[in-house]
Chain A
Amino acid sequence: MSNVVSMMTRAEVDEAAVVPHDDWRDWVTLTKPRVMSLVVFTGLVGLIVAPGHINPVLGLAAILAIAIGSGAAGAINMWYDHDIDRLMRRTAGRPIPMGLIAPNDALGFGIILSGASVGLIGLATNWVAAFVLALSIAFYVGIYTMWLKRRTPMNIVIGGAAGAFPPLIGWAAVTGHIGMLPLLMFAITFLWTPPHFWSLALYIETDYELAGIPMLPVSAGPRETRRQILLYSLVLLPVSLLPTVLGLAGRTYGVVALLLGIGFIIHALAVFRDQADGAGTSALNDRPARRAFRYSLFYLTVLYLAFAVDAWVRTS
């Protein structure tokens, strides 16, 4: 017994008392698996549509690196935001606010995963892909989480770029450079992110206010948010058609993008019209915003599937 005691510090034992279990699932939660699944999916599509061939083992390593990099950014984000996470219903159940993982452990975990992901993709494919992956992690942590999120209502507009990097990484992993098509995929995801998050922010608005985050519905009000969602959906449609217009994607993709874009505008219009008063308060208990949020997830998934199917159709 005395040997055991002599091998540990008092702080370690106290921490063990505070955190009686160490469940691996808490560490998985720290990596934001739902965000990770979308990141992996868009990264995989970037890899599929890229011209050329990649060995399946190296391709798998690249996708694994993108997943680890996304998890790393999520863990560091949860470390930095744990003070405000405990104030919002959506995030209060995360491992750090729940007292299941110590903040510094989460930070260490995130830093190690960041290094591992960048090293892995660099050694498996090339250092252009590694650089873009490192940039995306730095952007999400440094630009979005630490700089913009608590300071400006434009947080999600600029910070959203972090989530748009994966197709660039997948493409660079195969080709070793950045092409026009992944840049357009970046632009599409970049323009998709604000209406996606603002739809969510409309119906969890009070939580953001409580945490002091200047999300658009908090700082500019629901009326302006509804207008911005509509504006972004109107810009998103022509930009999403550019790959076909420029001859970088085929008609299969073009038709799907057109239909999906029209659907997005219809949902955005419903959100815009859902105003009971001059302030833009919802008349329908934010049902249109909830539908728009769910549709935005469907939109991005099917759009990227269309990119992959289109590339397969064109090459076979």
Chain B
Amino acid sequence: MTDEFPPPIPPDQIAAFKAKRRGRNLALLIALLAFAAIFYAIAMVRMGQNL
């Protein structure tokens, strides 16, 4: 019965996973903010051209 449970995950693996996920989330946040800024700038310029 106990064979059905996976072995416990070592703490160092969990720490590595958390660090990796934190890094990716931060990179994604920066990329999204950069894209928002770019699209804002594009919208401003294009609206200015249409005035």
**A residues less than 8 Å from B39 (CB atoms):** 120, 123
Instruction: Give residues of chain B (1-51) contacting chain A, Cβ–Cβ below 8 Å.
Output: 6, 9, 11, 13-14, 16-20, 23-24, 27, 35, 38-39, 41-42, 45-46, 49
User: How far apart are B11's CB and chain A's nearest CB, in angstroms?
Assistant: 8
- Would B38 and A61 count as touching, CB distance under 8 A? yes
Nearest B residue (CB) for A55:
B45
The distance in angstroms between the C-alpha atoms of A8 and B14, with both chains bound, is 9
Say whether A278 faces chain B, with CB atoms less than 8 Å apart: no
Query: B17 near A16 (CB under 8 angstroms)?
Result: yes
CB pair B35–A116 under 8 Å, yes or no, is yes
Residue of A nearest to B12 (CB): A17
Chain A residue nearest to B15 in the complex (CB):
A16
User: A13, A55, A58, A120: which contacts B13 (Cβ < 8 A)?
Assistant: A13
Please tell me if A277 contacts chain B, counting CB pairs below 8 Å.
no
Q: Which residue of B lies closest to A24 (CB)?
A: B27
Q: Which of A33-74 contact B (CB under 8 A)?
A: 55, 57-58, 61, 64
Which single residue of chain B is at the shortest CB-CB distance from A116?
A: B35
Q: Which of B11, B18, B19, B42: most chain A CB closer than 10 A?
A: B42
- Our pick among B14, B17, B20, B49 for the contact of A1 (Cβ within 8 Å) is B14
Contact string, A1-41, partner B, CB cutoff 8 A, digits 1/0? 10011001010111011011110100100000000000000
Dominant SS at the B interface? helix
Q: What is the chain A residue whose CB lies nearest that of B6?
A: A10
What's the least CB distance linking B45 to chain A, in Å?
5
Supposing A22-B23, A22-B24 touch, asked if A17 and B13 sit within 8 A by C-beta, the answer is yes
How far is it, in angstroms, between the C-alpha of A195 and the C-alpha of B46 when the chains are bound?
A: 43
How far is it, in angstroms, between the C-alpha of A27 and the C-alpha of B23 when the chains are bound?
12
Is A249 interfacial (CB-CB < 8 Å)?
no
Contacts of A19 in B (CB 8 A): 20
Known A4-B14, A13-B14, A57-B45; contact A120-B38, beta-carbon cutoff 8 A: yes
On whether the beta carbons of B23 and A57 are closer than 8 Å, the reply is: no
Closest to A65 in B: B38
Docked pose: A116 CA to B32 CA in angstroms: 11
A57-B42, A57-B45, A61-B41 given; 11 more Cβ-contact pairs under 8 Å: A4-B18, A5-B14, A8-B17, A10-B6, A14-B13, A16-B20, A17-B13, A22-B23, A24-B27, A58-B46, A120-B39
Q: What are 9 inter-chain pairs, A to B, with CB distance below 8 A?
A: A4-B18, A13-B13, A16-B13, A17-B16, A21-B20, A22-B23, A55-B45, A58-B46, A124-B42
Interface positions of B (Cβ within 8 A of A): 6, 9, 11, 13-14, 16-20, 23-24, 27, 35, 38-39, 41-42, 45-46, 49
A contact set with B: CB distance below 8 Å: 1, 4-5, 8, 10, 12-14, 16-17, 19-22, 24, 27, 55, 57-58, 61, 64, 116, 120, 123-124
Q: Which 9 pairs across A and B sit closest by C-beta, in order of nearness?
A: A16-B17, A22-B20, A16-B16, A17-B13, A124-B42, A57-B45, A22-B23, A55-B45, A20-B16
